[in-house]
Chain A
C-alpha cells in the first residue's frame, strides 16, 4: 500500500489526445487511451460497447433481412425456382437464427449496455472487462455461424433444421451436412456472451445505483432490461444443456436423440422451449421498456401506474416460464398438459394487457408531440396488440392444432417480433441518437421511413394471417397454382421489399443527418433535446467518457424531470430550471475510469477457433484453448492501471466494494491510495 501523489491528468480518451509519454515494456501493460480503431477494439467503456452491439445487431438485421427477401422472392409466384428446397431450408433457418440470436438479442443488449449505467447514475457496468468480453464473444459466435454459408462450398454447410432444430431431424442421419454443428456450437458461443452479459448487468443494477436510487425509483426501461437479464440468466443454461446434448450426439455419437436406442424426441422440444418461451420475453421486454420511456416524454406526463408497469413486467418474467408447452400442442403431450398450458397461456396475456392500457392511459390527456420516436412507439402499441391477440388465439389448443405449421403462426410472431420489437428499437434509435452521437436524425426522412416501414410491415405479415387460415404451410419452398395463395403471397413480397426500402432510408438518414451536422446545418441537441425524464439526459450529448461529473443524489422517480419542473402555489407546473442548468456539462475530467484492456478480445477469439476445431480438426481446439487460456492469464495478471495514469482503477481486479465505483477526485487534494 503506497500513497501515490497523483497529478491532475485530464482524461480525454474520446478526443484521441493521449497523456502517454512513456510506456514501460512488457507483455502485460494495458493499452493506453489512444484514439482510432484501438479505442474501440480494446475499450471497456459500456457506451462504446453498447454502440458496437447496436452496429453489429443492425448489420446482422440487414443480413437476416436479405435472407427474408430471398424467401419472399421465391414465394412471390407459385412453382418458383429461385431457391431449391435444400437451400430454402437453409435460408429460412439462417433467417430465424440470425434475426433472433444475432439481431434482436444484441439490439436489446445495445440498449442495456448503453442505458442501464446511465439511467441508474453509474460510471460503468460492474465488470467492464467482462462486458467487452461478452461483446467479442457474441461477435465471434455470430460470424462463426455466418461462415457456415461459405465453408465447404456455397450453401453446402448452413444449418437446415429451423431455428428450433427439432430432433431427431437434426441428427447426423437426417442432417448429414455440418450445418447443425455450426448451429449448435455457434449458439453455444453466443449463449456464453448472453450469460456473461446478464451476470454483469444484474450485478450492475443491484449494486451500482446512485445514492437514493431505490429499485422502485428506477426508470421502467432499466427495470425491463433488468428482468430480461434475469430471464437470460436462467434461460441460457437450459439451451446450453440442449445444445451440449445435440453437439455430443453429432460429434461423439452420444444417444440423447437417437431414437433407435429409445431416445425421446420430446426431450429436445421441452429443453428448447423452456428456453424458447422466456426467450420471447427476453426479446420483447427491452422494446416495452424503450417505449415506456418514449411515450411519457412525448405525452409530457409521467408513466401511468408505474408500479403496475414494473410488477406486470415481473409477472411476465415469472409466467414466461410456465407456458412453454403451448409450442408443443401438436406433439402429443397429453390432454392434461395441453389444458394446463392453454390456461397459463391465456393468463399471461393479462400483464401484457395491463401494460398496453397503461401506455394508453399515459397518452390520455397528454400534450402529445408526434415526433419520429413517438410514431414508432405508438405503432408498437397498436401492432403488438394485434400480434398479442392472435397469440391468444393460439392458446385455444383446438384452434392451435389447426394453425400449427401454417403461415398464421408466422403472421403472429412477426407481428410480435417485428411490430413489437423492431419498431420499438427503431423508435429507440431515433430517441437516443442525439444522446449517443450528438446530432439529430432528420425528422423528415425519419417520418417518411416510418410510414414506409409500417405500411410495408402490414402488407408483408397481414396477408399471412389469411394465407395461414387458408392452409398454406410454412417452411415449404413453394406452392402450386390455383390454391388461392397467389395474390397474398405477391402482396407479402411487395411488402417485404418496402421494409427493405425503409431500412435503407434509415441507414441513409444516419449518413445524411451526420453530414448536415458536420456542415453545421442542424442545431446541436444539447443535453436534453426532448425534455425527457431520466438521468441519461442529465449529462452532455454525446455522453462523456465518465458519464456524470459528480454522483447524482436521487430523491424521486423521474429525478431529472423534477429538477427541471416544479409546481407553483396554485399547483400549476412551472419550469424551475433549464436542462442546461441542471445537466452536467462533462467538464470534470478528473474521473477515474477503468483502463482499456487487450485481453477480453484475445480470450473471446479463442472460442470460435475451438468451434472450428470441434467440427474439422481437434488440434485447432488446442490453438483456440491456448487463446482462451492466454487471454485469461493476461486478464488476471495485467496491471490494475494504465501504466501512465495512476488514477485509473479497474473494478474487477480488486473486488472490494470501495473500488466498485470509479471515484472522483477532489479537484485540489488529489491524494490517492493506490492498492499496488
Chain B
C-alpha cells in the first residue's frame, strides 16, 4: 500500500484530468503486471529448487552439467543490455533519434546473443544426456530457463518493433514513455535472470 501515501499528495495537482497518482496508466499497468510476473517466476523457481537434486543414479546433476564461465559471459551480456536500453531512453529524451536507434538495436542484439547462448547451452546439455524428459532436474531446469528465455524473446520483439517504427520515421521523443515501459520490462527480465543465475547456477557450486 505504498501508493496510499502518494495519492494524498498527488491529489493536489490542479491540472484537471491528470491521473490521480501522477503516473500514466500505461506505466502503472506495466508495474502492476511485473508484480504479477514475480509470482510466476516465484512458482517456477520453487519448483526447480524442489526438484534440482532428483536425478537418476547415472544421471549428471547440476554441478557436473553447468558451464559457469560460459553462462557468466552470457549473463554479463544480458546485464549490459540493461545499460544500452537506458542509453536508448536518454537518447530519445534528448530527441537524438540516430543514437537512440543505435542503442535500441544493440540492446536487441545483446538480448539475442543471450538467447542464442541459451539455445547453445540447451543443445550441449542435450548432447550430454540431459533431455527435457530425462529426470525431474531436466524437466524443471528447462522449464524455468525456457520461460525466462521466452520473456527475453518477447522483449526483443518489442525492441525491434520500436526499431522498425524508427525506420518509418515514427520514433520521436513523444514516444519516450513507450520505450521507458519496454525498458521497465527489460530491466525486470534482467533482474529475474540475476536471481535465476544465482540460485540455479551458482548455489550448487
Contacts and interface: CB of A to CB of B under 8 A. Distances in A.
A466 interface: no
A230 to B, nearest CB: 9
B43 A199 contact: no
Q: Which of B24, B27, B54, B133 has the most CB of A within 10 A?
A: B24
B135 interface: yes
A252 B139 CA distance: 10
Interface string B7-36: 110010000111111111111110011011
B178 interface: yes
A15 B19 CA distance: 31
Interface in A246-294: 248, 252-256, 258, 261-264, 267, 271
Contacts of B20: 206-209, 213
Nearest to B55: A262
B19 A241 contact: no
Q: Which of A195, A199, A203, A658 has the most CB of B within 10 A?
A: A203
A657 B18 contact: yes
A203 B8 contact: no
A661 B42 CA distance: 35
B3 interface: yes
B44 interface: yes
A663 interface: yes
B51 interface: yes
Contact of B36 (A236, A253, A657, A658): A236
A241 B44 contact: yes
Q: Give chain A's interface secondary structure class.
A: helix
Contact of B25 (A245, A263, A267, A651): A651
B29 A211 contact: no
B40 A237 contact: yes
Interface in B71-113: none
Interface in A647-674: 651-652, 655-658, 660-661, 663
A242 interface: yes
B3 A206 contact: yes
A655 B33 CA distance: 16
B196 interface: no
Interface residues of A, number: 53
Nearest to A662: B17
Contacts of B133: 252-255
A207 B27 CA distance: 11
Given A238-B43, A661-B17, A656 B177 contact: yes
B47 A655 contact: no
Contact of B136 (A195, A261, A636): A261
Given A241-B43, A241-B47, A655-B178, A660 B29 contact: no
Nearest to B30: A199
A172 interface: no
Q: Which of B3, B26, B35 has the most CB of A within 10 A?
A: B26
Contacts of A147: none
B37 interface: yes
A241 B40 contact: yes
A660 B40 CA distance: 29
B24 A656 contact: yes
A242 B18 CA distance: 40
Contacts of B139: 248, 254-256
A657 B22 contact: yes
B17 A658 contact: yes
Interface in B89-147: 132-133, 135-136, 138-140, 143
A132 to B, nearest CB: 15
A281 B138 CA distance: 36
Contact of B143 (A127, A211, A254): A254
A329 B47 CA distance: 21
Given A195-B36, A655-B178, A242 B43 contact: yes
Contacts of B195: none
B202 interface: no
Contacts of B24: 655-657, 660
B50 interface: yes
A241 B4 CA distance: 31
Interface in B155-188: 161, 177-178, 181
Contacts of A314: 1
Nearest to B14: A211
A143 interface: no
Contact of A207 (B1, B25, B54, B161): B25
A551 interface: yes
Contacts of B143: 244-245, 248, 254, 256
B36 A234 contact: yes
Contacts of B136: 255-256, 258, 261-263
A127 B27 CA distance: 12
A123 B26 CA distance: 17
Given A126-B29, A203-B29, 8 more contacts: A206-B3, A238-B40, A242-B43, A254-B143, A255-B139, A263-B54, A651-B25, A655-B181
20 contacts: A126-B25, A126-B28, A126-B29, A198-B32, A202-B32, A206-B21, A207-B19, A207-B21, A211-B11, A211-B16, A214-B8, A214-B11, A238-B40, A245-B143, A256-B47, A261-B54, A262-B136, A271-B47, A551-B16, A657-B22
Interface of B: 1, 3-4, 7-8, 11, 16-29, 32-33, 35-40, 42-44, 47, 50-51, 54, 132-133, 135-136, 138-140, 143, 161, 177-178, 181
